Structure 1
Amino acid sequence: MVRGGRPDGPPRPPHADVRRLRLAHDAAGEPRPRPLVERLRRGTAAEGVHLRPQPTLPIVESPVRCVALRWSPGGPPGLQARRAADLSEAAMSLQRKAVGSMELGDHLCLFFDNDDERRSIMAAYARDGVRAGQKVLYVSDAVPARDVLDWLIGDEKDAPGPMPADADAKPVDLAEAMDAGHFVVRTAEETFLASGRFDPQESIELMATEIDLALVQGYTGVRVAGEARFSLRRWPGTEQHGDFERMLDEVFMTTDLKAMAICQFDRRWFDAARLEQLESCHMGRVRVDDYYDDGSLRITPIFSPPGVAMTGVIDASTRPAAERVLESIATRTGLLCLDLGGVTDCDADGLRLLTRADRPDRGPNRGLLLRDVPPAIGERLRSAGLVARSGVSIEERPR
């Protein structure tokens, strides 16, 4: 099998990829690409990020020797000097950012208690990165690479068909991307504990190394996705995980990194107080992409229970899009939930579409729940005789 552009076998000597490219630049009389931290040095001194040479880090892929980010204890005021409560309030006030809208420089968190929602977000994140020519590094808690790949690919069978906004998007095969080295999966132990313990500074240096290597290899940037449950395993040094998140966030906020990151936190493992502290170490939260949004109607996936949330107006102009989304998810079995809490108006044809009263093929095992129905729309449903339809449950919002 070929991975990373070469057959499986003994790894190349350290820095082979980077040395080969630099020799080619020298032979052509061209300037060598500047390492990431050389570029960062110019703009970070005033912000309190101090740099110093570091030795090569023991990582799985071919490493590149670089000058890595170095933090000085008790450095100049920055995020670490602010009160945690202030940071948390700032983070809580930020609107969640759709994963498809993420940009280089973003450092976001994902708090989840539903694995389907998490998989939908992470699969889109990985595919978008490969499509954009970015290297994608996924750090799993302890799951092997191929199992992570199978889990992410499983999102394809549950996803609806292409929506108008992404119908022309180039399809991405994550299995091919993994074999080519564009999509890399490592465990937390491989990534963070190569020296025997977790060290926040070494972990940030590792990230700088990864970014340098990817840029030299021709990628436009790096996408990092990390599962944080390893921090609860009481491995040596993992009690410093919160310090790592704070330090990493300040790097993102004070430098122009060609990278983005999503840190994943399972609500079933992290308590509320810990999550509040961790949220303060991020720029905001990431959310699932919308199925559709034209400014008049937004349709967003929901997962507990599965279905969609609608916000805006359902009329002649938006009904075709709503119908397309509902048709795309109509093949799923079990309960389907339509959350109408954000719907401000809905015409008669829209009401029939929502209740699917004109669909005789809903099947005996198909249940439909209209949730958080505004009182005005509930009254229209009753007037149209749609509230007593078999298989349809309606939960109205209290007046």
Structure 2
Amino acid sequence: MSAASTHHKPVGRMELGDHLALIFDDDGERRSIMAAYARDGVRAGQKVIYISDAVPAREVLGWLLAAGEDAGSGTDDELVDLTDAMNAGHFVVRTAEETFLASGRFDPSASIELMATEIDLALVQGYQGVRIAGEARFSLRRWPGTEQFGDFERMLDEVFMTTDLKAMAICQFDRRWFDDVRLAEVEVGHMGRVRANDYYDDGSLRITPIFSPPGAELAGVIDGSTRPAAESVLASITTRTGLLCLDLGGVTGCDADGLRLLAGAGRPDRGEGRGLLLRGVPPALRDRLHAEGLVDAPGISIEHRTR
């Protein structure tokens, strides 16, 4: 799939055969998605192979275990022990250098063959499939052959699209390291992007984690039927900064119940020092919030920005 038709799939809905890109600029977001991905794989009886670079290999396990501290984990992750999985060989961490540069240079074809061997071995060992997670920052280090990394991603994507692989992969790209030109080049070599799991989605209203600043994106209709669930979700979101951000750019309808929900989300009893930032507010909804005086309370503000 080309970058022009990129879609965003929740990590919890990934399937064998997926080859997706994680493009992020927030460490909490990446850690939340990677922890869910690893634990889902262990839960499904799949072997999980994490290829580290930005996070030192010896720190990956502890880094993932800390995901519960980040907004957006939102799963029953505590039921899966990654420490036990690592001790059993179910969850494996390798460095990008030992994975891709064993011969002294990066070779796209050899790297793909190595992955195929890893997948075959895991299936022989009785695993139901393989999950690969790779940090891609090594491709910027100018190691021999890394100028072919874009070709590698496109070749790998072709393998995933044309072969019935019992595997899936997430390639991680940090916007703070990859410029827009480079990101566009590598994104073409993926079927789409992966994102955090939704907090809630009933078909009428979807609530999705956002990480910088922490909060949630709401899309759909906020009314009497969706307010109880939305209120429960928002009450469960904790932030270390005291600031809760609600991105309302996808809200298509909001009645009086919805207005009361938005006004109440910033109440002090929802968290010490809680402030509420409303982002991407549609013009009609912004006018109603002002008309009702619901944004005049201390600690509530609307972000005005051009898109």
TM-score, length of structure 2 as denominator length: 0.92
One-letter amino acid of the structure 2 residue matched with residue 224 of structure 1:
I
Is residue 2:12 matched to residue 1:104? no
* Counterparts of 1:367 and 1:360, CA distance in 2: 8
Q: Against the structure 1 CA distance between its residues 222 and 357, is the aligned structure 2 distance closer, same or farther, given a 3 Å change threshold?
A: closer
* Counterparts of 1:142 and 1:395, CA distance in 2: 33
Question: What does residue 52 of structure 2 align with?
Answer: 140
* Counterparts of 1:235 and 1:177, CA distance in 2: 32
Question: What does residue 345 of structure 1 align with?
Answer: 253
One-letter amino acid of the structure 2 residue matched with residue 276 of structure 1:
A
Question: What does residue 79 of structure 2 align with?
Answer: 171
Q: Against the structure 1 CA distance between its residues 367 and 126, is the aligned structure 2 distance closer, same or farther, given a 3 Å change threshold?
A: same
User: Deviation at 1:387?
Assistant: 1.7
Question: What does residue 106 of structure 2 align with?
Answer: 198
* Counterparts of 1:142 and 1:386, CA distance in 2: 44
Question: What does residue 7 of structure 2 align with?
Answer: 95
* Counterparts of 2:23 and 2:249, CA distance in 1: 23
User: Deviation at 1:374?
Assistant: 2.1
User: Deviation at 1:397?
Assistant: 8.0
Question: What does residue 252 of structure 1 align with?
Answer: 160
* Counterparts of 1:370 and 1:325, CA distance in 2: 16
User: Deviation at 1:396?
Assistant: 6.0
- Report which stretch shifted further, 343-352 or 198-207: 343-352
Question: What does residue 262 of structure 1 align with?
Answer: 170
Please say if residues 72 and 209 of structure 2, whose CA atoms lie closer than 8 Å, have aligned partners that are also in contact. Answer: no
* Counterparts of 1:209 and 1:113, CA distance in 2: 32
Q: Against the structure 1 CA distance between its residues 244 and 390, is the aligned structure 2 distance closer, same or farther, given a 3 Å change threshold?
A: same
Please say if residues 110 and 262 of structure 1, whose CA atoms lie closer than 8 Å, have aligned partners that are also in contact. Answer: yes
* Counterparts of 2:304 and 2:251, CA distance in 1: 13
How many residue pairs get aligned? The number is 306
Question: What does residue 296 of structure 1 align with?
Answer: 204
In structure 1, the gaps of 5 or more residues are 1-86
Is residue 2:138 matched to residue 1:230? yes
Residue deviations 1:153-206 (CA, integer Å, cap 9, x gap): 1111224685xxx66x88211111111111111111111122222221221111
- Report which stretch shifted further, 353-362 or 386-395: 353-362
Q: Against the structure 1 CA distance between its residues 272 and 210, is the aligned structure 2 distance closer, same or farther, given a 3 Å change threshold?
A: same
Residue deviations 1:6-26 (CA, integer Å, cap 9, x gap): xxxxxxxxxxxxxxxxxxxxx
* Counterparts of 1:112 and 1:249, CA distance in 2: 20
Q: Secondary structure at the match of 1:212?
A: helix
* Counterparts of 1:126 and 1:343, CA distance in 2: 32
Pairwise CA RMSD: 2.2
Question: What does residue 183 of structure 1 align with?
Answer: 91
* Counterparts of 1:357 and 1:117, CA distance in 2: 22
* Counterparts of 2:67 and 2:60, CA distance in 1: 12
Is residue 2:288 matched to residue 1:380? yes
Question: What does residue 122 of structure 1 align with?
Answer: 34
Q: Against the structure 1 CA distance between its residues 262 and 307, is the aligned structure 2 distance closer, same or farther, given a 3 Å change threshold?
A: same
TM-score, length of structure 1 as denominator length: 0.72
One-letter amino acid of the structure 2 residue matched with residue 101 of structure 1:
R
Report percent identity of matched pairs: 76
* Counterparts of 1:358 and 1:303, CA distance in 2: 17
Q: Against the structure 1 CA distance between its residues 286 and 358, is the aligned structure 2 distance closer, same or farther, given a 3 Å change threshold?
A: closer
Is residue 2:126 matched to residue 1:218? yes
Selected match of 2:193 from 281, 285, 292: 285
User: Deviation at 1:114?
Assistant: 1.4
User: Deviation at 1:358?
Assistant: 8.5
* Counterparts of 1:313 and 1:396, CA distance in 2: 22
Looking at CA atoms only, which structure, 1 or 2, has the larger radius of gyration? 1
Q: Against the structure 1 CA distance between its residues 360 and 241, is the aligned structure 2 distance closer, same or farther, given a 3 Å change threshold?
A: closer
Question: What does residue 221 of structure 2 align with?
Answer: 313
In structure 2, the gaps of 5 or more residues are none
Residue deviations 1:59-94 (CA, integer Å, cap 9, x gap): xxxxxxxxxxxxxxxxxxxxxxxxxxxx7xx32213
Question: What does residue 63 of structure 1 align with?
Answer: none
User: Deviation at 1:109?
Assistant: 1.1
Which structure ranks higher in relative contact order (CA pairs < 8 Å, sequence separation ≥ 6)?
2
Please say if residues 205 and 219 of structure 2, whose CA atoms lie closer than 8 Å, have aligned partners that are also in contact. Answer: yes
User: Deviation at 1:378?
Assistant: 2.4
